[in-house]
Chain A
Amino acid sequence: MEHKSNEKKRLFFIENKKGEEIIYPKLIFIILNLIFISFLIFFVYKSSSGALVYEQAYAKQIALIIDSSKPETNITINFEEALKLAQENGIRKEDIIRKTGNEIIVSFSNKGGYKFRYFTKNKVDFDVEGNNLIIKIKN
């Protein structure tokens, strides 16, 4: 008697197609939506904290500082974000900023970067101390 009732119960769950039809499409739909929204959030986060934005910002900031400063001046700027991005990409802190002629090149990866020109003849040296970049402008 008991065996029969268990069998009936089992068959009920297996054959309850209507329940399955209601739950599975909704579940798949919710999972797909979640995946889609996660991709969106990931894309926006990556864009906003991406190296491209900071390479450009730092290159322009440094070039403008050089142009607007008088010789024999040391200027300290916060370099925390640059150091974090360089570390993520395996770049040494000494290699983040390069100077070719009158152009500043800021790069947080092995290839590429952003270059920006300055117009003064002043000599420029860079030094990283802690989380700061020191721009040394000499005559």
Chain B
Amino acid sequence: MNKKAEKLFSLWWFFVLVLVGMAIVGAAFIYYSADFDVRKVESLILYNYISNCLLDAGEINRNFISDNFDIFKECNINEESIINSEIFYFKIILKKDEKPIKTLHFGNPSFDNECKISKGINPKKYPACVEKEEMVFYYSNGEKIYAKLYILTASNQGGNFIN
């Protein structure tokens, strides 16, 4: 091989090596700096937490119907975490004959619409949501009344690195 070609070849070889190196560094950086996304798991945990607190074998907590029901006290939820942090949201609707009897919602209110918009597409900046509706019952004046309990929970907690 003549000298000129050899020089050109080694330069080209070094350029390829640098390119491959940059790709490996970039890939490793992107992979290891990525967040572990646990928002869906967290909103599912919040859903289960609320559901377990309000329901006992399908029967809704008697106090829930009353006006002075404090979900934070009854369900042992930290009020500050839900309201002030703006990273959680939950909405509970008790419906009878498709008409709401009681509605409760706390946390970041914009999550309500964002959950509707992001349904099925899971955009990264939007919260991860869980919503379920189930048949429940409660007693009123000794009469067993069937109703539907709708619970929506959302979390957009990414966590933070601190310095």
Interface of A toward B, CB cutoff 8 Å: 25, 29, 32-33, 36-37, 39-40, 43-44, 47-48, 50, 52-53, 55-57, 59-60, 64, 67-68, 71, 101-102, 105, 111-122, 139
Q: Which residue of B lies closest to A33 (CB)?
A: B17
User: Which among B115-123, B133-141, B142-150, B153-161 touches the partner chain?
Assistant: B153-161
Contact A120:B162 (CB < 8 A) given known A43-B28, A48-B32, A67-B42: no
Complex CA–CA separation, A62 to B21 (angstroms): 36
Q: At the interface, yes or no: B103 with Cβ under 8 Å from chain A?
A: no
Q: Select A44's contact among B28, B80, B87, beta carbons within 8 Å.
A: B28
Contact A115:B159 (CB < 8 A) given known A47-B28, A60-B36: yes
Complex CA–CA separation, A113 to B76 (angstroms): 28
Chain B, interface size category, equals 35 or more
Would A43 and B25 count as touching, CB distance under 8 A?
A: yes
Q: Select B159's contact among A47, A53, A102, A114, beta carbons within 8 Å.
A: A114
Complex CA–CA separation, A105 to B21 (angstroms): 35
Would A118 and B81 count as touching, CB distance under 8 A?
A: yes
Contacts of A47 in B (CB 8 A): 28-29, 31-32
Complex CA–CA separation, A117 to B45 (angstroms): 13
Would A67 and B45 count as touching, CB distance under 8 A?
A: yes
Contacts of B36 in A (CB 8 A): 56-57, 60
Contacts of B45 in A (CB 8 A): 64, 67-68
Contact A36:B21 (CB < 8 A) given known A57-B36, A112-B163: yes
Q: A36-B21, A68-B48 are in contact. List 19 more A-B contacts (CB 8 A).
A: A39-B21, A40-B21, A40-B25, A43-B25, A56-B159, A68-B49, A71-B76, A102-B78, A102-B81, A114-B161, A114-B162, A115-B159, A117-B157, A118-B81, A119-B46, A119-B77, A119-B78, A119-B82, A121-B77
Complex CA–CA separation, A50 to B80 (angstroms): 33
From A53, A56, A101, A118, residue with most partner B Cβ within 10 Å: A56
